[in-house]
Homo-oligomer: A and B are copies of this chain.
Amino acid sequence: MNQIKIQTEPFDLAAIQEELRRDNPAIGAVVTFLGQMRDINEGDRVSTMTLEHYPGMTEKALQAIVDEAEARWQLMGIRVVHRVGPLHPLDPIVLVTVASAHRGEAFQACEFVIDYLKTRAPFWKKEQTAEGERWVDARHSDDAAERRWQR
């Protein structure tokens, strides 16, 4: 019922949302988060970004996050797609889409999944800027976002 994908190729935002909602008239709300690559980070222009991950663990970590969301809220389907490999500004990086009968649960679960993904799923971003390559540092704001959900 839920689906997690790690892929190098682009994903089809519309097809994923459609597939999730299309056949289930009990769904009243679909909330979707799309993360896309920005051309500026920490004040520097970024031309390319390369996303590395830990194959195997990534899928397990995302599955654990999705299972936790399922346990916390009444949901009717979750899709998570995350790209790896080289990316350019405007490229979609990650999609999280959550269906539910009512909007409150869909909003909460969607934000929960992306907040946990940011701190618990083994992905690493390396940026190419005019000054050369650099690994992106983890953000304190992401830790704070995750802590809101801790029980």
Interface of A toward B, CB cutoff 8 Å: 13-14, 17-18, 21-23, 25-40, 89-90, 101-104, 106-107, 110-111, 114, 141, 145
Closest residue of B by beta carbon distance from A95: B30
Q: Which chain B residues border A110 with CB–CB below 8 Å?
A: 31, 107
Contact at B33–A89, with CB atoms within 8 Å? Answer: no
Count identical subunits in the complex: 2
Q: Would you give the shortest CB distance from A109 to chain B, in whole angstroms?
A: 12
18 further A-B pairs in the complex, CB-CB below 8 A; given A22-B90, A25-B39: A13-B14, A14-B14, A21-B34, A21-B36, A25-B37, A25-B38, A25-B40, A25-B90, A26-B38, A26-B40, A27-B38, A28-B38, A30-B36, A31-B32, A31-B110, A33-B103, A102-B141, A104-B141
Residue with the greatest number of chain B CB neighbours at <10 A, chosen from A29, A36, A103: A103
